[in-house]
Structure 1
Amino acid sequence: MWELRRLLELAYNHVPFYKTLWDERGVRPSDIVKLSDIKKLPITSKRLFRQQPIMSLMHDSFFLPHYVWTETSGSTGEPFGFPIRAYSELDLTNVFYEYRFLLWRGENLNDLLASLRVARISDSLPNGYVPSDERLFIPRGLLRDDPSALFRQLKEFGPDVIASRPSMLFELARLAGRMDTNDLPRFKYIMSYGETLYPAARRFIERATSGEVYDAYGLEEVGTIGVECREHLGMHLNEESCIVEVVDGNGVILRDGNTGRIIITRFRRNDVMPFIRYDTGDRGMIMPERCPCGLRARRIQVFGREGIFVTLGGRKFHLSEFEKVLTKLHHAVLGYQIARVGEGDLEIRLVLSDGFSQAADAVAADFKKRFGLSPGVKIVRSIGYNERGKTPIFVDEMDLAEIDR
């Protein structure tokens, strides 16, 4: 509770936006005396922040070079730039929360913080990144342009963990299948983040790399929020560093086991611009059962973005309706993308496991039955990245985009 009190006092006294917002709602930090009182504070969002003068969002005593500018990916159509404490000041904390699953596997804490070797395939270096012998950043373009050089770098570096988005890990695994086994690096642990990891894709990556995949949940704004244990049954929340709530459409906190909007309050990560009761734009559920692994930290399941609608021929569909059809086939589908290719036309692009080509017919039939739509269904080897290195679930390829948020 003292971490929350500290954060609220800091925000109220040093960040003009929060003082104004909370004064308008008639709430002060002193009104929050127990964790459940957090519901008295208004929910914030990317959209709300984008409407404010940037200086009103920033701590009034931070100056360069103690912070750098970064941005979210804009996967909801709302790119958002914001200041964050310089990378070097956060590095050890980031390492602990991202890779604490290794502690649960019995690894040494000192080794984790001081000598863990991580290779990350990414579209760009983190802002303020300081090179070190323990970190290797590989541009995603190398997957496409020179995979042999990529595998050579990985083998020479010898990472303990390789980390990337599921789509990039899938491509890495696919390329590994074409390589001579003597040229392949060995990965003990693989970290997936930033996109939905489908069960079939997890199995494919693990078979091709002989590594164990751990999925993590986080955002650029608030860092890593949760990560799997070796049971791989949901992601354990880093509850000592954040408060995670799931709320309904009216902002009412839901009991564990119910699906709703994910709201996050993160302690300490970014005193330059705190994120308090921040609507992530994701939907998820706090799992009600205790994990078989014995850890007391609650687990979260994340189901995808909140509030994306697609208009087709004058009819409006929630993207989650389409996703439910496709995720039912998780045993067969390694990845997918939904594209609007005409005013009333969809194309479903599927990356399928070997032997499951009939899944394409099942998808077409289900879309016809549920929505009265006849999408084109195309089996592809991979889904292309956007400029931020993600493989978006939905793309609008029409000039008249009609995605509402």
Structure 2
Amino acid sequence: MFQNLRLEIWKNIHSLPLGFIRFWQLRALQSLARHAYLHTGLYHDLWDKNGIGPSQLKHLSDLQRFPVINKKTFLNAPVESYIGLIKQQFYIWRYTSGTGGQPFPFTSINGIHSPYANFLRYRFLYWERIPPSIIQKKMPMVRISSAEIKRITYQANIDIPLTEFLTNPKKIIKELVHLQPIVIESYPSVLVEIAQAAIEFSQFQKLGIQYAISYGENLKSWQRKFIEDTLECEVIDRYGIAETGVIATECRYHDSFHLNTESFILEIVDTNGASLPSGKTGRIIITDLRNYVMPFIRYDIGDQGRFLPGHCPCGLEGERFVVNGREGEFLALGSAKVHHLEFDKVMDSFSGAIIQYQVAKIDEHAVTLFIICGPAMTEFILNHIREKMQALIGTDCRLNIEFVTKIKRAPRGKCQTLIST
């Protein structure tokens, strides 16, 4: 009964007064901090070393006094020092994809189709006032994800391994036509390939998709346009990490993420861990208020972002923010470092001519730009791309451009914008 009551509050928390949201977060933070201090040696020793403790959490702003941690904090510590099992929770061990560096083992407290996981994945539907009973049991949804998952059917949900789609896209498109899913979710690069396959196999009738949820990769503006125009659906971008699950979701205005405030505290901080005001870009730091097995308190995700000032036109309360991407995602070319956002800024100018791209570093003085062309690509645009890219990487760096139909994927299925060969 308590679980059902809590879920009812969570579903509506963005419509509640901001003061209630802050009160909820503070109480949840105080409880989590007490547990972490008493039952995990990692936090106990780290906080003692910094002269800080749970009793000093009187206000949410007091969280800034606690040290920031990251993956290395856990990787350099014995497992028994950060697993706190006094408070009983279901959990399983999982690994991050490793695209940001070394794969990282962590405990997940939510099964892929637990009520809470489904609630977060499809929260935007709750905001559209679709009844929970329809969302959870009657709305056909298809998820195409990690190459390592097995095909799962759960109520109206179907999980399809990415390898199945990549091996035989025509078969999966036929299946989607038969299923007529309302929602499909996957990496942006996979949604692009689904749209491409739908064009290639145009003899099939429409897929009937109303919402395409993207996650796991940075969604580019031209990808959103191509997916929406081709599949005739609305693209909803979602933000999260493997360690914590879904952190935030877009609303119908598609200009920022709305934080799941009942479950997380999100900070934007400078290099010293001090909070930054709205509009200032900094490191994204997350505190997961639900995970008592492996607490994440002031956890540096490795992404850069900024809060947006003011209220969203949709009327939802709580923080909204934008994500700029991985902090260390750049190519070192000679003496210069070119960040992925700089490449994105160039390619943003050619929406319609580009569906997807990838920059591969061949050596210190050579890169190859792989492009999946859109319908608007012309020789004039190609020359313009070459000119702007050459100016970005420098005249000492050799640029080669190749048109491709597929972009190389990492072992677990993600497409990275920047790679080194």
With the length of structure 1 as denominator, give the TM-score of the two structures.
Answer: 0.89
Indicate the residue corresponding to 1:375 in structure 2.
399
CA distance in 2, matches of 1:328, 1:26: 51
CA distance in 2, matches of 1:214, 1:32: 36
Is residue 333–residue 393 contact of structure 2 (8 Å, CA) maintained in 1?
Answer: no
CA distance in 1, matches of 2:126, 2:303: 28
Indicate the residue corresponding to 1:165 in structure 2.
187
Displacement of 1:164 in angstroms is 0.3
Displacement of 1:327 in angstroms is 3.9
Indicate the residue corresponding to 2:306 in structure 1.
285
Indicate the residue corresponding to 1:106 in structure 2.
129
Q: Is structure 2 residue 316 aligned with structure 1 residue 295?
A: yes
Indicate the residue corresponding to 1:37 in structure 2.
62
Is residue 99–residue 410 contact of structure 2 (8 Å, CA) maintained in 1?
Answer: no
Give matches, 1:266-285, under 5 Å: 266-268=288-290, 270-285=291-306
Is residue 222–residue 348 contact of structure 2 (8 Å, CA) maintained in 1?
Answer: no
Alignment match of 2:98 (pick from 60, 74, 79): 74
Alignment match of 1:8 (pick from 23, 33, 37): 33
Displacement of 1:215 in angstroms is 0.6
Give matches, 1:117-196, under 5 Å: 117-124=140-147, 131-196=153-218
Indicate the residue corresponding to 1:51 in structure 2.
76
Name structure 2 gaps, 5 residues minimum: 1-25
Q: Is structure 2 residue 413 aligned with structure 1 residue 392?
A: no
CA distance in 2, matches of 1:303, 1:41: 25
Aligned in 2, Cα 1:236/1:118: closer, same or farther, shift over 3 Å?
Answer: same
Which stretch shifts more, 362-371 or 209-218? 362-371
CA distance in 2, matches of 1:318, 1:166: 20
How many residues get paired? 393
Give the residue type in structure 1 aligned to 2:357.
Y
Q: CA RMSD in A?
A: 2.4
Aligned in 2, Cα 1:244/1:327: closer, same or farther, shift over 3 Å?
Answer: farther
Is residue 12–residue 19 contact of structure 1 (8 Å, CA) maintained in 2?
Answer: yes
Give the residue type in structure 2 aligned to 1:79.
P
Is residue 87–residue 126 contact of structure 1 (8 Å, CA) maintained in 2?
Answer: no
Displacement of 1:38 in angstroms is 0.8
Displacement of 1:330 in angstroms is 4.7
CA distance in 2, matches of 1:125, 1:340: 28
With the length of structure 2 as denominator, give the TM-score of the two structures.
Answer: 0.86
Name structure 1 gaps, 5 residues minimum: 398-405
Aligned in 2, Cα 1:60/1:134: closer, same or farther, shift over 3 Å?
Answer: same
Displacement of 1:349 in angstroms is 1.7
Is residue 219–residue 237 contact of structure 2 (8 Å, CA) maintained in 1?
Answer: yes
Aligned in 2, Cα 1:207/1:324: closer, same or farther, shift over 3 Å?
Answer: closer
Is residue 136–residue 157 contact of structure 1 (8 Å, CA) maintained in 2?
Answer: no
Aligned in 2, Cα 1:317/1:230: closer, same or farther, shift over 3 Å?
Answer: closer
CA distance in 2, matches of 1:62, 1:237: 26
Give matches, 1:290-329, under 5 Å: 290-313=311-334, 315-329=336-350
Is residue 227–residue 237 contact of structure 1 (8 Å, CA) maintained in 2?
Answer: yes
Percentage of matched positions with identical amino acids: 35
Question: What per-residue deviation string (whole Å, max 9, x for no partner) do you get for residues 94-145 of structure 1?
Answer: 1112211112222112322444432101124669x97522221112123232
Give matches, 1:352-367, under 5 Å: 352-357=373-378, 358-367=380-389
Displacement of 1:352 in angstroms is 3.5
Give the residue type in structure 2 aligned to 1:216.
R
CA distance in 2, matches of 1:140, 1:76: 20
